[in-house]
Amino acid sequence: MLSNSSHVPKLYLSIIDDVIESMREVFLDEGLEDRVLDDLRQLWESKIMQSKAVDGLALMKNTINSSNFVLQLPPNYGQTFSKPAASMVIPAGQHVQSFTAKNNGGTLATFSLPPGMTYPVQIPAGVTLQTASGQLYKVNVPVMVTQTPAGHRHLSQVQPRQGVPVVEWRDPSSASQQSATVVPSTVLKTMALPKTEPFSPQPVAPPRADPQTTEQKSLIPPVQPPNEKPLLPQPVVQPPVQENNFVQQPQVPSAQATFSGQTPVSFQPPAQLPSHPPESPFDSGDFNLDGIDFDSPQPLDMSLSSSSAHMPSLQVKMETTLSEGSGFMGQGSEFEAREMVKQEDHGAVADMTTHLEGLPVDSTKLEMALLKDYNYNDALADIIQLDGPADSSSEEVEELEGGAMGENEFLGMMTVEALQALQEVDGSSDDGISSSSGDSVGMDEITVEEDPLNSGDDVSEQDIPDLFDTDNVIVCQYDKVCFSFLVCQYDKIHRSKNRWKFYLKDGVMCYGGKDYVFSKAVGEAEW
């Protein structure tokens, strides 16, 4: 699956490119602007990403397909490039072919990694990097970009080269296809003017050698207007966001707080990066959890009074859920997390929302979606109370339904197992069900009336009207229908008695919610 799933995003992107490029002329002939074509492309890609059928599409875009870095070169660019290369340096000369310069108050150059070039790559000081997705990063000191294998979640060991530590930098939408490891150096302080003299590489304080410290946000904040003052090197450069290790959390706020305190610039992580709102997290006071040490300022607004009792359990649950790693990516985990949230106290839900926002958890689009859903839960929490004295199965179903009906955006998150569990638990929920949804009430009434009228006419086994007449009805919206299909061409289909053999080729498959492709497939089945 690893090999296939790494091919699929690339393949899809190449197909998208083909189609878009070949349509460009046609669009122009029709008198349409480029913008329309770009819109189409954006829509197309976003839908694919939304479907989650392809892992790491966005990451692929950023790293491989369009590995275009826009360099903003300081006027004295040449001087900064004379850094000795650890492995690969990006001198101006090497990228002549794709090196275009514009003058926009600084030189703007684009380059793509030349074909022969592989990671690690060292980017000298004073350059601004822009990924294809539009995120801007300014590098103030030499940066080494390395590439770690897919799924590499923990920090590769720090290997200071010439005093430049390496920290893993993960694109927020990565489903862990690849991650570029960026040496932060004093990258975070890259507020220096491009016009200033070359920033001599200042070795950062010894990097935190925890293996858990996986950088989630970009270490290089977005480009700041040129009139920013240079920042002092700070030891708190280190990965401000920690992924799975809650204990690391305290360091984040302190880093952020110090950072924002000392510098005139506000740290604004690119929008696509994980859910760590730049400004708000820095305001709150201390926060203590029983289960987990949070001594330093927690970048959240937590109302401790009502929710402290709930938080530990919530925290632990969230921790276990969120630390499922790749499992968290799956729909199921998201559902679990949501379920847990729903079951918690109302006050805790609100806190959970903010807390989650601060958590340096796996920063993917899923995470963002999850948070948005928590926000919805927050709104719905006024309607739903599933614990406490009101805790009973029938009410549970009713309230879920009420929630589902009451909120258009609230996606029904009933997995099959949960549905069965509810139905099992719920023995007699007539009152609950019928009172919660007008539709189901109507259905029940109509069904009840028709049965005695039509029952005499039924010639069949009488189980057809009964088949769909159930006391337990749940009306909701489905998030995703996971069915599997395989679209391909056949070379040969062979049958012998009831044994079938399939020789297929050039196929696209979707199963388990994920996409696969193959050039040849051989199968057999018994009928």
Partner 1 sequence: MAYQLYRNTTLGNSLQESLDELIQTQQITPQLALQVLLQFDKAINTALANRVRNRVNFKGSLNTYRFCDNVWTFVLNDVEFREVTDLVKVDKVKIVACDGKSRLFFFSLSLRPFSLHLQTDSVRTRSHTSLSKYKTKSMTISHTVV
Binding residues for partner 1, rule: CB under 8 A, are: 1-4, 7, 11-12, 14-16, 18-19, 22-23, 26-27, 30, 32, 36, 39-40, 43-44, 47-48, 51, 53-54, 483-491, 493, 498, 500, 502, 504-512, 515-527
Give residues with Cβ within 8 angstroms of 12, minimum separation 6.
Answer: 48, 54, 57, 515
Residue 38 has which token pair? 């770009």
Pairing of strands 127-130, 107-112: unpaired
The least CB distance from residue 69 to partner 1, in Å, is: 26
Q: Which is nearer to partner 1, 130 or 173 (CB)?
A: 173
Could you identify the residue written with the tokens 């952020």? 256
Residue 192 has which token pair? 């220096």
DSSP 324: T
Burial class (CB in 10 A: 0-12, 13-18, 19+), 147: middle
The sign of the torsion formed by the CA atoms of 433, 436, 441, 442 equals negative
Q: Which is nearer to partner 1, 27 or 119 (CB)?
A: 27
Q: How far is CA 461 from the centre of its chain?
A: 51
Neighbouring C-alpha atoms within 13 Å toward the C-beta of 201 = 25
The least CB distance from residue 270 to partner 1, in Å, is: 24
Q: Which is nearer to partner 1, 14 or 262 (CB)?
A: 14
Residue 491 has which token pair? 């070379």
The least CB distance from residue 17 to partner 1, in Å, is: 9
Q: Which is nearer to partner 1, 283 or 491 (CB)?
A: 491
Report the candidate in 373, 301, 372, 305 with the shortest Cα–Cα distance to residue 345.
305
Instruction: Considering only CA atoms, give the Rg of the chain.
Output: 28
Q: Which is nearer to partner 1, 2 or 247 (CB)?
A: 2
Q: Which is nearer to partner 1, 461 or 526 (CB)?
A: 526
State how far the Cα of 453 lies from the Cα of 455, in Å rounded to an integer.
6
Q: Which is nearer to partner 1, 276 or 365 (CB)?
A: 365
Q: Which is nearer to partner 1, 54 or 59 (CB)?
A: 54
The least CB distance from residue 34 to partner 1, in Å, is: 12
Residue 33 has which token pair? 């602007």
The least CB distance from residue 365 to partner 1, in Å, is: 15
Dihedral-angle region of residue 324 (phi above 0 means left; psi in -120 to 50 means alpha; beta otherwise): alpha
H or E, element range at 369: helix 365-380
The least CB distance from residue 421 to partner 1, in Å, is: 19
H or E, element range at 435: helix 430-436
Q: Which is nearer to partner 1, 28 or 421 (CB)?
A: 28
The least CB distance from residue 340 to partner 1, in Å, is: 27
The least CB distance from residue 367 to partner 1, in Å, is: 22
The least CB distance from residue 369 to partner 1, in Å, is: 17
Could you identify the residue written with the tokens 């380059």? 111
